[in-house]
């Protein structure tokens, strides 16, 4: 196989890059975020490298009685490729049964029936009468305000909007509800994470949460932003509570909630393992055991006591044994799918596990029934719960904040591409797919018909638009680090400033090609050969090193080597230089 054939085969790999997107949630009758924001932001200053001129490129540069009906979505799709085995005690890792299901590629690459979430995840609250109290447990949102939609929202779980809808359904059925969260609202730090924390805190208030703990990344944010979100309009109204995390005395150490004629005593702690991840002098943290010893008696008169432990499972179990006063302890470090029935510790304490990204909630229902006083239900927040208009408004506020701030104010700066060479003027700079068209018209034509070519446009058409969100743009434009959410120098900056880099283009797989384009228009054969070699890429290399960065398990749960070869690659492959 000659060099040109290898080069064209590698160029085809651009089209299999993933396109991740976020979809929205919120409601607001009061200011959504307490921190004031600038009205405008700069979006062009990351392009620190000298811009490329057309001359340099040589081409143009986009069992209690009276049970109520179990939850089931009347609008769920009737047809499904998934069959549920009701005899199974547990579901497999992706919450499906072991019945065969055809791989479901996204972006229309091959047809699949819509998944019926009831068939996949089962009905909820079967055989349940109205409880005297329902406690909803959640946690570990990890910055995922909503599920990414590129695999199809019918395949994905989680999101504040769905959670709000679920809680509203319980309330509309007349169930007394107490909502508790173990914390972990964000998973990174920086200005965007601070905005996420503030929006998430406001969302939890609107959902009616009464007690929320802290995760380690929550406390790595600037203390001023955390305090503003925690205190809100009035410190007395804070929903956060912690026995061992002190934020300027703004958070109570315990909280007693009254609902359904019962008193629920709640406190939270941050475990030792996670404490070691925090280096913030403005946050005072005491050992969990010491803090609980000091406050547990405050909850003595409650009907049920709950400990929210943002801690490892082992640490949580030890705390449960040392403080048997708690009937329920919640760990942030549970399995990806919570068990159907919580573990029992020391004969009576139940260990509640929450799932990452808040994809599930666990509900504890209380009854005047000596045989079964408490029932538990794991609930997947799947597509049977429609978006909450309330949360959608809040998400629009968040996206507008990102737009106003821009990359600079968000602290997002371009960095040199790993392939950039010191002293080489165009090395590591992006040219855009139009620069490939002249020599590779067939490859360009195939790419231009894929949804990758319109990936940025997809963000701009969403409601609200997401083209100002780095966590979306990184897989929807050219010249970004897909996993770390920052641009490379001369990568996509915006639809107005760099329209030639909109969409998922050739260079996302092959690397920046400005030097290659310039070399093709020069008389230096050695330089041409070097630049061609630098951009060579096989389909196998693309799958292993490039595609998976966007087609990860979160964005494309069905994407694997088999579906890549059988369904994705045949739709985008092209052979030969042209």
Distance CA 271, CA 287 (A): 8
- DSSP bridge partners of 240: 212
pLDDT attached to residue 430: 96
Nearest to 446 by CA among 578, 548, 539, 536: 578
Q: Are 213 and 270 in contact (CB under 8 A)?
A: yes
Q: What is the CA radius of gyration of the chain?
A: 26
Q: Is the peptide bond before 488 cis (omega within 30 degrees of 0)?
A: no
pLDDT attached to residue 111: 59
Distance CA 396, CA 159 (A): 15
**What mean pLDDT comes out for the span 511-529?**
92
pLDDT tens sequence across 442-465: 999 989 998 899 999 999 998 889
Chain-centroid distance of CA 108 in Å reads: 23
Distance CA 333, CA 140 (A): 9
Strand bridging mode 133-138 / 360-366: antiparallel
pLDDT tens sequence across 454-493: 999 999 998 889 999 999 999 999 999 998 999 999 999 9
Question: Angle of helix 389-409 relative to helix 160-172, nearest 10 degrees?
Answer: 160
Q: Are 559 and 479 in contact (CB under 8 A)?
A: no
Triad 272, 338, 273: Cα angle to 5°: 10
pLDDT tens sequence across 354-389: 999 999 999 999 999 999 999 999 999 999 999 999
Lowest-confidence segment of 69-73, 174-178, 190-194 by average pLDDT: 69-73
Question: Which domains are present in the chain?
Answer: 3-61+406-572 (no CATH), 132-384 (3.60.21.10)
- What lies within 8 Å, CB to CB, of 545 at 6+ separation is none
**What mean pLDDT comes out for the span 414-440?**
90
pLDDT attached to residue 71: 47
pLDDT attached to residue 249: 84
Q: Where are the beta strands (DSSP E) in 95-154?
A: 133-138
Residue 307 to residues 87, 258, 304, 326, Cα–Cα distance (Å): 33, 16, 10, 6
pLDDT tens sequence across 273-299: 999 999 888 899 999 999 999 999 999
Instruction: State if pTM tops 0.75.
Output: yes
pLDDT tens sequence across 105-134: 444 444 567 788 889 898 999 999 999 999
pLDDT attached to residue 576: 61
Q: Are 50 and 499 in contact (CB under 8 A)?
A: no
**3 state SS of 487:** strand
**What mean pLDDT comes out for the span 407-420?**
94
pLDDT attached to residue 54: 39
- Name the DSSP class of 32: S
pLDDT tens sequence across 246-255: 988 888 999 9
In percent, how much of the chain has pLDDT > 70? Answer: 79
pLDDT tens sequence across 145-161: 988 776 677 778 999 99
Chain-centroid distance of CA 130 in Å reads: 33
Q: Calculate the dihedral angle through the C-alpha atoms of 526, 527, 529, 535, rounding to the nearest 10 degrees.
A: 160
Measured from the Cβ of residue 290, the count of other Cβ atoms closer than 10 Å reads: 11
The secondary structure element, H or E, covering residue 548 is helix 548-550
Measured from the Cβ of residue 108, the count of other Cβ atoms closer than 10 Å reads: 10
- What lies within 8 Å, CB to CB, of 439 at 6+ separation is 520, 577
Q: Are 550 and 482 in contact (CB under 8 A)?
A: yes
Nearest to 453 by CA among 507, 503, 506: 503
Give me the helices (H) in 410-546, please. 434-437, 441-448, 455-461, 470-473, 507-510, 514-520, 525-535, 539-542
pLDDT at 526 over 70: yes
Backbone angles phi, psi at 488, to 5 degrees: -90, 155
Which pLDDT band holds residue 143 (cuts at 50, 70, 90)?
A: very high
Residues present in the chain in total: 578
């Amino acid at each position: 196989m000659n060099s040109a054939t290898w080069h064209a085969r590698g160029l085809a790999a651009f089209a299999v890059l993933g396109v991740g997107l976020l979809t929205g949630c919120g409601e607001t009758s009061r200011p959504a975020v307490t921190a004031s924001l600038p009205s405008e932001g700069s979006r062009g200053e990351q392009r620190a490298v000298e811009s490329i001129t057309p001359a340099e490129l040589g081409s143009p540069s986009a069992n209690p009685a009276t049970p109520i009906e179990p939850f089931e979505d009347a609008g769920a799709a009737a047809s499904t490729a998934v069959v549920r085995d009701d005899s199974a005690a547990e579901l497999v890792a992706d919450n499906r049964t072991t019945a065969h299901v055809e791989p479901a590629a996204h972006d229309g690459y091959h047809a699949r029936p819509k998944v019926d979430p009831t068939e996949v995840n089962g009905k909820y609250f079967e055989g349940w009468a109205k409880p005297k109290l329902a406690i909803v447990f959640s946690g570990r949102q990890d910055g995922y305000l909503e599920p990414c939609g590129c695999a199809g929202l019918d395949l994905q779980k989680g999101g504040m909007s769905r959670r709000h809808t679920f809680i509203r359904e319980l309330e509309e059925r007349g169930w007394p509800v107490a909502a508790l969260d173990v914390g972990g609202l964000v998973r990174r730090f920086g200005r965007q994470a601070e905005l996420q924390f503030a929006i998430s805190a406001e969302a939890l208030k609107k959902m009616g949460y009464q007690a929320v703990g802290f995760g380690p990344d929550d406390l790595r944010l600037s203390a001023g932003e955390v305090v503003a979100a925690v205190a809100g309009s009035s410190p007395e109204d804070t929903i956060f509570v912690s026995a061992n995390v002190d934020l300027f005395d703004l958070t109570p150490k315990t909280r007693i909630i009254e609902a359904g004629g019962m008193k629920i005593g709640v406190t939270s702690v941050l475990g030792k393992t996670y404490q070691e991840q925090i280096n913030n002098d403005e946050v005072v943290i005491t050992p969990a055991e010491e803090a609980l010893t000091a406050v547990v008696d405050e909850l003595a008169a409650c009907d049920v006591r709950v400990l929210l432990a943002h801690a490892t499972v082992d640490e949580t179990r030890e705390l449960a044994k040392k403080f048997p006063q708690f009937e329920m302890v919640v760990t942030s470090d549970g399995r990806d799918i919570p068990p159907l029935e919580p573990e029992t510790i020391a004969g009576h304490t139940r260990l509640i596990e929450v799932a990452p990204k808040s994809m599930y909630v666990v509900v504890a229902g209380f009854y005047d029934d000596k045989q079964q006083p408490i029932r538990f239900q794991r609930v997947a927040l799947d597509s049977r719960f429609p978006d909450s208009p309330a949360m959608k408004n809040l998400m629009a506020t968040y996206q507008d904040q990102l737009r106003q701030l821009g990359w600079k104010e968000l602290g997002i700066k371009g960095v040199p591409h790993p392939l950039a060479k010191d002293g080489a003027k165009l090395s590591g700079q992006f040219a855009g797919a139009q620069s490939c068209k002249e020599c590779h018209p067939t490859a360009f034509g195939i790419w231009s018909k894929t949804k990758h070519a319109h990936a940025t446009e997809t963000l701009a058409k969403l409601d609200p638009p997401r083209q100002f969100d780095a966590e979306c743009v990184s897989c929807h434009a050219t010249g970004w680090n897909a996993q770390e959410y920052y641009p490379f120098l001369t990568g996509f900056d915006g639809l107005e400033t760099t329209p030639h880099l909109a969409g998922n283009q050739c260079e996302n797989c092959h690397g920046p090609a400005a030097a290659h384009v310039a070399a093709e228009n020069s008389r230096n054969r050695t330089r041409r050969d070097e630049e061609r070699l630098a951009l060579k890429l096989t389909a196998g290399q693309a799958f292993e090193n490039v595609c998976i960065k966007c087609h990860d398990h979160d964005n494309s749960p069905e994407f694997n080597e088999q579906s890549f070869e059988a369904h994705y690659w045949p739709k985008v492959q092209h052979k030969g230089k042209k």
